[in-house]
Amino acid sequence: METASLERRALDAVRTAFGDAGWQVREVNGPDYAVDVVLSSDHGQTYHAVLKAFSEGRPDRVTASFAQALLESRSYAKRQHVRPAVLIWVGSATPSLIKRLVEFHEEHGEGEPFAVLSTNGVQYVRFPGLHHFARADAPGTSVRGSHSAPPRLGFSDLTQWMLKLLLAVDIKRENMIGAPAVYYSTASDLARAAGCSVMTATRFVNALKEEGFLAAGPVLKLVRRRKLAERWKAAYQKPALALPMKFLLPGAPDQQLRKLLKKEHGILGLFAAADALGVGHVHGVPPTVWVPSLMVAEDWRALRRAKEGERADLILQQPGFPQSLERGSLIHDGTRVTDIIQIWLDVSAHPSRGAEQAAELEHGVLANVTGDSA
């Protein structure tokens, strides 16, 4: 199996396992750590995790890479003042492989959390608050709940993208989301559109069925959307990381913003994106620009950080769910903006009349998406 395909499947597995538990999963951008991820829990725990993927679970090879991942994660964590962690994905993880990794970690580890995932789902997890994910037959684990429990609908990055795909057909206006307005008949159809494994899409569809959010019929059609919408918005109660910024040079902020977005490939979001799509209801709020990394964007040459008490020209924000945000975005009048569903989610908990803007969308262009009349 090609390396890119392995890494994609591994990342999907991480997003599903941790995202369904309410953690935020963000892929780290950079040539030296393309498959590293940052994992953040609702309790403020953040880890920089090195991810290693294998098509076969040869114990000697996986153990050697596990040791390397421990060293890499410690080195990065020390430089960036974060906690290290290790993630292993293998096509098939045997109990003997997991036992060997556990024993190696007990002898050589320094308490770093780690997890072993495979095509069959979560095999072993030793993360604070997530030990209940571990399989009952994994060595050295305590298990909360049954391994055969029905799938629970969580709002991971990939889950949100698949929800957008299912809902795009019910948006009242065209050119509001970077997704086709079509119905999907099977989990396989949805997996192809979402760019994920059939297993991941099937798990998602089964979770929707189990919780009563999927209607019986020839296509995958969501029901009880008002309840689903409230649960989805709840995933956005915690504000994303943000920096208030000023332009270095004087001039029209709107023109400078357009140039900045084109040069740095940022994505316009929240109220400014709503204005761009012609559905804005709240004005006077500095525009938000979504960026992959605040550390990188803070050093953009055209900007400086706003001083305390100084009105910002724009707000840089780093998304908690970058894949769903980026995949759903679209080009409008030469500027990339977040899709209408993403706008609704992002403004829902914003202190500057965000609930008002969200309600305007819910009763307007998203009435069939967030209500029960669809």
- The pLDDT tens digits of the residues spanning 171-189 come to 999 999 999 999 999 999 9
Backbone angles phi, psi at 107, to 5 degrees: -85, -40
- Strands (E) located in the chain: 24-27, 37-40, 46-54, 83-90, 114-118, 121-126, 241-247, 267-269, 288-290, 303-305, 314-318, 330-332, 335-337
| Domain positions in the chain | 3-133, 157-224, 241-370
Task: Answer yes or no: is pLDDT of 241 > 90.
Answer: no
Which range, of 2-11, 61-70, 229-238, averages the lowest pLDDT?
A: 2-11
- Same CATH topology for 3-133 and 157-224: the answer is no
Task: Answer yes or no: is pLDDT of 140 > 90.
Answer: no
Output the average pLDDT for the chain. 84
Residue-wise pLDDT tens digits, 108-134: 888 889 999 987 777 888 887 776 444
Residue-wise pLDDT tens digits, 74-106: 888 777 777 899 999 998 888 888 888 988 888
What pTM does this model have? 0.65
More confident residue, 163 or 321: 163
Residue-wise pLDDT tens digits, 1-30: 466 678 888 888 888 888 877 788 888 754
CB atoms closer than 10 angstroms to residue 195: 12
Which value, in Å, is the radius of gyration of the alpha carbons in the chain? 21
Q: Is 288 helix (H, G, I), strand (E, B) or coil?
A: strand
Does domain 157-224 match CATH 1.10.10.10?
yes
Does domain 3-133 match CATH 3.40.50.300?
no
Percent of the chain with pLDDT over 70: 90
